[in-house]
Amino acid sequence: MAILVVALGVGVLLVATGGLGKVAATVTSAFNSFVTDLTKAPSPSPSAVVVADAPTLEAPDEPYTNQPKVDLVGHVPANVVGTDTRIRIYVAIGNGDPGPVTDVPVGSTQGFIVPGVELSPGTNMFTATIIGAGEVESDPSAVVTYILDVTKPRLVISSPKNGGTVNARTVKIVGQTQGRSAMSARNLTTNATVAGAADEKGAFSLILPIGTGVNKIEISAVDPAGNENQVTISVRRGTGALTAALSASFYQVKIGKLPEPVTLSVSVTDPDGRALKDAKVTFTLAVPGVPAIASSELTTAADGTATFTTTIPKGATTGQCSVTVIVQTKDLGGTTDRTVITITK
């Protein structure tokens, strides 16, 4: 019996020639399958996602909050959208090291929200990364800070004094609180209100209209975290009058002694009889026979006084010199006073 040797690729098939017809079909089928295996395109295997760019977190408009939880909002790089990757949130409390908070899957869009992330009292500094295949992790995002503050702001009123008297149509409320707090004052007696804000260091001033008699005033401070504190004071609007008392270094002079220096003085008091500082004062001296003399605008000192020295010149005629002082204030209006100096023969 003859033996037929058939080469199939790297293999060899030995058959008896007596069964050649049957074997031929088998050989042909095996060969065709072998060629097909060699020429068909291989199926692609899934490729790993490359984690390169960091995600981003959106910073809040105001980092201070009195809410125990916040929603973190951010974006992931476009190449990880729809892949089997995760967003990992880290937080560092105060000066501590960052620690993981939670992982959330990347969704079908670049934007993401991590709701209800709990805050610890004080400073909370959040970052985010992308976790890819094989736990490969991207660089962290830029830090986003939240500050949990649940303490009422300190509120101190330095002026006016509680129960004091204000002789003006308005009262200036001056004080100190937490920096950048929203301020308001309400006159509970007249229902007048005014709003303002403390500066970065917490200083504030508010000007509120007041009515005659006792005015009960409520001052409120709301800090950047939303915590509120209130103080209530009362002030009385006085009904007294601003006064100016004018005097001269002499009231009579002989014409033969001219020229003669003269000093004019004024003492200004508020409606409660207290010395008034920073009142604006102008003196005028009308001398018969010569042009009138006027001072520049002067300001009263801490004791409420101001002085002006001038000279009654030679050439003046006998008669009365009219002396006038005009006083103006920012809050209490104005007043005047007059006296005379007589020039005799």
Q: Which pLDDT value is given to residue 151?
A: 97
Beta carbons of 224 and 260 less than 8 angstroms apart: no
**Distance in angstroms (rounded) separating the CA atoms of residues 282 and 324:** 8
**Distance in angstroms (rounded) separating the CA atoms of residues 338 and 149:** 61
pLDDT tens track of the chain, all 345 residues? 333 333 333 333 333 344 434 333 443 444 344 334 433 444 444 444 455 689 999 999 999 999 999 999 999 999 999 999 999 999 999 999 999 999 999 999 999 999 999 999 999 999 999 999 889 999 999 999 999 999 999 999 999 999 998 888 899 999 999 999 999 999 999 999 999 999 999 999 999 999 988 999 999 999 999 999 999 999 988 777 889 999 999 999 999 999 999 999 999 998 877 899 999 999 999 999 999 999 999 999 999 999 999 999 999 999 999 999 999 998 889 999 999 999 999
Q: Where are the alpha helices (DSSP H) in the chain?
A: 20-39
| Structure-token pair, residue 306 | 């101001």
Beta carbons of 57 and 128 less than 8 angstroms apart: yes
Beta carbons of 55 and 74 less than 8 angstroms apart: yes
Domains defined along the chain, listed by start: 56-148 (2.60.40.10), 156-237 (2.60.40.10), 243-344 (2.60.40.10)
- The per-residue DSSP string of 170-201 comes to EEEEEEE-STT-EEEEEETTT--EEEEE--TT
| Structure-token pair, residue 150 | 């649940």
Q: Which pLDDT value is given to residue 12?
A: 36
- Provide the pairing of β-strand 99-105 with 228-237: unpaired
pTM of the model: 0.58
Angle at the Cα of 284 from the Cα atoms of 279 and 287, rounded to 5 degrees: 165
Q: Where are the beta strands (DSSP E) in 99-169?
A: 99-105, 111-118, 122-131, 144-148, 156-159, 165-166
Amino acid (1-letter code) at residue 1 = M
Q: Which pLDDT value is given to residue 267?
A: 97
**Distance in angstroms (rounded) separating the CA atoms of residues 298 and 253:** 26
| Structure-token pair, residue 317 | 């005629």
- Provide the pairing of β-strand 213-222 with 170-176: unpaired
Q: Is 59 exposed, middle or buried (0-12, 13-18, 19+ CB in 10 A)?
A: middle
Q: Which pLDDT value is given to residue 301?
A: 97
Dihedrals φ, ψ of 35, to 5°?
-65, -40
Angle at the Cα of 65 from the Cα atoms of 63 and 69, rounded to 5 degrees: 105
**Distance in angstroms (rounded) separating the CA atoms of residues 287 and 242:** 28
Q: Which pLDDT value is given to residue 196?
A: 98
